[in-house]
Chains A and B, each alone.
Chain A
Amino acid sequence: MWIARLKLIMGEEVRYISHLDLQRAFQRALRRAEIDVAYSQGFNPHPKTSFAMALAVGMTSEGEYIDVELNTKIQPEELMTRLNNSLPQGLQVVQCKLRDKPHPSLMSQIDKAIYTIEILTQGKNDYLDIQLLIEFFMQQDEIIVERVNKKGKKSSKNIRPFIDFIQLEEVQDQLIILKTRLATGSKNNVKPENMIEKLIAFGGKKINYEGLKIHRIDLLTQEGKKLISPIENF
């Protein structure tokens, strides 16, 4: 059994794809590329793939990770080329590694994610105002996010410990660009859009925004004190 770990880019063209649709699109690309993947058993066999972390609908990314189970060995470069010739617009493999032993599941390895967030605002913005807003926001001990689960039960969670940083990258008339690192994964998880909602409503003067463009720069694994990409130690 061989496992290939791939790093994938998801562009504008597939920004609105759901996670399920992405999985299917990827599996079809594997078939087009004629890669000897292992199939699941059952009535509807499908190629065995597993994704690191679902990307929310509307986001783009340059740091998605997928594990693919293969029956036969293939050179990573060849796998990459063949897949890239088969993937639809907006999807591209940028890194690939192969190993023959099982490895902890991708999903369990993810601890953090880095994003850039573009906020398209209605009114004009001032750099200093926003800078101060972020500083005060980060000085809080508690940032409470209310959640409603599938059964309709409400709960609240303090997300402050899970926000590593928020950097102000750029401010224009109707645009604010931030960079942030948030806890992500099965243990702790902060959704960037929830954090933004809290931030722009902070301090009483709500920023009205037309739209959000969230881009995932990378997913990261905690290894000791270091944060590394899940493909680095694969």
Chain B
Amino acid sequence: MKSKLMNKILPTVKNPIQYIGKELNSVHKEIKSDTIRYAFAFPDIYEIGMSHLGMKILYHLLNEQEDIYCERVFAPMVDMEEKMRRENIPLFAWETMDAITHFDFIGFTLQYEMSYSNIINMLDLGEVPLLAAERTKEHPFVMVGGPCAYNPEPLADFVDIVILGEAEEVILEVMEAYRKWKKSEGSRKDFLHSIASITGVYIPAFYQVEYDEEGKITSFQPISSAYPSTVQKRIIKDLDKTYYPDKVVVPYTNIVHDRIMLELFRGCTRGCRFCQAGMIYRPVREKTPETLKSIAEKLVKNTGYEDISLASLSTSDYTQLVPLVKNLMEEYKDKGVGLSLPSLRIDSFSIKLAEEIQKVRKTGLTFAPEAGTQKLRNVINKGVTEENLMEATRQAFEAGWGTIKLYFMIGLPTETNEDIEGIGDLGKKVVQQYFQVEKEKRNKALRVTVSTSSFVPKPFTPFQWEPQNTMEELKEKQQYLKNIIRDRKISYSWHEPKISFLEAIFARGDRRLGKVLLKAWEKGCKFDGWDEHFKFNSWMEAFEECHIDPSFYAHRKREYEEKLPWDFIDIGVSKSFLIREHKNALKERVTPFCRENCVNCGVENFDGGWTCYVDC
């Protein structure tokens, strides 16, 4: 198989070097009888999967264990898959090119709802039975984790194990249980039983759901009292002490984020009401600058990368950002290593910082006001005012930037025509700012891009009860905005409402969606997040054939009393806090950021007591 791949297939596909698995710092081990073989699978192509920080961490963490050999798996590109299917080559793991069906575990990371069909496709290509119930002792355990695992129910039929929260510790506990089980000659179920009560582990097969005639959940219970009725997510308490790889795989081919990623902290103190990451990753935990400097040093040495990117949600909230940035710049400026800050907030502080470290051309700067009016920004708790934006863009133009991207969401709760008009107005005001800056200072070319995505209500946010706009409503709003923005300096781009619709269905879906997923995959659905592969009609046929109304999931307003499919998961933030925040939203009432004032989101009671270090 390997020689067929090497000599016959690879010469004929796009970008073959991505499939070889011999990149710098990739791990190659001898496989012994007691080796646990773990396939870390990313349900998208190499270029995207290799950019993912979680994969880098877990790959090296697992490989630190002598008896575990973790390899990487990605979705082959469409041309490659075609050839693999024609030549009967099963999906293989990158390092050894061995078929994944021979592994002990296949762990998928769930970053995006639209990659679910790829999971089914990869299992099929890997000759692994699709349904968990059909797997025997010969087959691997299929495991999932990542942000979408906070509502794992749509995948309940396909996965054996769900990991909730940060995996660094819990995955090793699961591996330890596996070592014991392997010696014990027990059944598959015995193993699952042995890990079901580890904090952060959820075994879908051990739970059963009942629904009423409308389709709402009436009960969600473990099949035995041996299993917990709520599953708590895992968090790492001390990020300075937790494992972080000091070398990472350096790909040959271009990937989306081809640089050192320095994780400054986890969590977010801002509390935007639409943002799932802001809730599920609480509490905020920072790494010390000392830890970061030493990680950076090792990573530069071991990778040779020419760029360090400071990765976290809302990077500028890191309390020691300025000294850290200064130090890194000082340290690396002569070594040809640059610095980048991907997720900056809109404010003068960030502009100055960006200006200081800006080593690339002053082309693009991105701002995310999210909503067009102050009223709506209060609803979503986005603490940004028009003055902030105007001040920041003026400074950006004065510093010579010419391209400004503005990100908004349409379809947010309580949105009116005025809010849509507000988006257009903001765009125009930004253009005016440019013309107010002296000619000598400003960039010769101006380009303002207004881009809108459609609001998708997500589990564990204050908006989890809210309906999504219908596709018609979203399209109308996009058209309306398009008509308002009739300015040659502004270009408008938007997201395909059909994709947002499907995202909304799966984000808040329950177990019954499993059969739709299977049907859609049978109809050829995969790479749904990619416009050119997305087969919307096939999806709608699949819903129809399964007698499931997609609107029930996307367009229905939930009452606070309704049992939600993810209610059995405890993320630390309490439901009462989410309800309070939802009510505040409707009253257009702003909630201060944690930094300024703890608003008792529930995390302070999490996991036997947690202290958030807020200055109050």
Contact assessment for A46 and B252 in the assembled complex, using a CB-CB cutoff below 8 Å: no
Contact assessment for B304 and A32 in the assembled complex, using a CB-CB cutoff below 8 Å: yes
Contact assessment for B304 and A28 in the assembled complex, using a CB-CB cutoff below 8 Å: yes
Contact assessment for A211 and B8 in the assembled complex, using a CB-CB cutoff below 8 Å: yes
Nearest B residue to A34, CB-CB: B301
Chain B residues lying within 8 Å of A161, measured Cβ to Cβ, are none
A167 interface hit (Cβ, 8 Å): no
Contact assessment for A16 and B20 in the assembled complex, using a CB-CB cutoff below 8 Å: yes
Nearest CB of chain A from residue B45's CB, rounded to whole Å? 16
Binary contact readout A45-64 vs B (1 if CB under 8 angstroms, 0 otherwise): 11100000000011000000
B314 interface hit (Cβ, 8 Å): no
A147 interface hit (Cβ, 8 Å): no
Which of B253, B305, B338 is close to A28, meaning CB atoms less than 8 Å apart? B305
Chain B residues lying within 8 Å of A17, measured Cβ to Cβ, are 17, 252
Contact assessment for B8 and A39 in the assembled complex, using a CB-CB cutoff below 8 Å: no
A212 to B19, CA, bound (A): 19
Contact assessment for A58 and B11 in the assembled complex, using a CB-CB cutoff below 8 Å: yes
Chain B CB count within 10 A is highest, among A12, A24, A120, for A24
Contact assessment for A28 and B250 in the assembled complex, using a CB-CB cutoff below 8 Å: yes
B23 interface hit (Cβ, 8 Å): yes
Binary contact readout A30-50 vs B (1 if CB under 8 angstroms, 0 otherwise): 111010000100011111000
Interface residues on A, range: 35 or more
A18 interface hit (Cβ, 8 Å): yes
Nearest A residue to B361, CB-CB: A43
Nearest A residue to B337, CB-CB: A31
B356 interface hit (Cβ, 8 Å): no
Residue tally, chain B, CB below 8 Å to A? 31
Asked if A57 meets B303 with Cβ closer than 8 Å, knowing A16-B10, A25-B252, A120-B7, the reply is no
Chain A residues lying within 8 Å of B252, measured Cβ to Cβ, are 14, 17-18, 21-22, 24-25, 88
A89 interface hit (Cβ, 8 Å): yes
A8 to B140, CA, bound (A): 42
Chain B residues lying within 8 Å of A173, measured Cβ to Cβ, are none
Asked if A13 meets B22 with Cβ closer than 8 Å, knowing A21-B252, A44-B359, A120-B7, the reply is yes
A36 to B6, CA, bound (A): 37
Chain B residues lying within 8 Å of A16, measured Cβ to Cβ, are 10-11, 16-17, 19-20
A4 to B92, CA, bound (A): 41
Contact assessment for B253 and A88 in the assembled complex, using a CB-CB cutoff below 8 Å: no
Contact assessment for B336 and A47 in the assembled complex, using a CB-CB cutoff below 8 Å: yes
Asked if A13 meets B250 with Cβ closer than 8 Å, knowing A86-B304, A211-B11, the reply is no
Chain B residues lying within 8 Å of A45, measured Cβ to Cβ, are 336
A138 to B351, CA, bound (A): 68
Which of A28, A43, A47 is close to B360, meaning CB atoms less than 8 Å apart? A43
B439 interface hit (Cβ, 8 Å): no
Contact assessment for A30 and B11 in the assembled complex, using a CB-CB cutoff below 8 Å: no
Nearest CB of chain B from residue A166's CB, rounded to whole Å? 22
Chain B residues lying within 8 Å of A12, measured Cβ to Cβ, are 6
Chain A residues lying within 8 Å of B15, measured Cβ to Cβ, are 18
Chain A residues lying within 8 Å of B254, measured Cβ to Cβ, are 21
Nearest B residue to A91, CB-CB: B24
Binary contact readout A120-134 vs B (1 if CB under 8 angstroms, 0 otherwise): 100000000000000
A126 to B252, CA, bound (A): 41
Contact assessment for B335 and A31 in the assembled complex, using a CB-CB cutoff below 8 Å: yes
Task: Given A18-B15, A44-B359, A58-B16, output 5 extra A-B contacts at Cβ < 8 Å.
Answer: A16-B16, A28-B304, A39-B336, A88-B23, A213-B7
8 contacts between A and B (CB under 8 A): A16-B10, A18-B15, A25-B252, A27-B306, A43-B359, A44-B338, A45-B336, A88-B250
Q: Which 7 A-B pairs have the closest CB atoms?
A: A28-B304, A16-B16, A13-B22, A211-B7, A88-B24, A31-B304, A32-B304
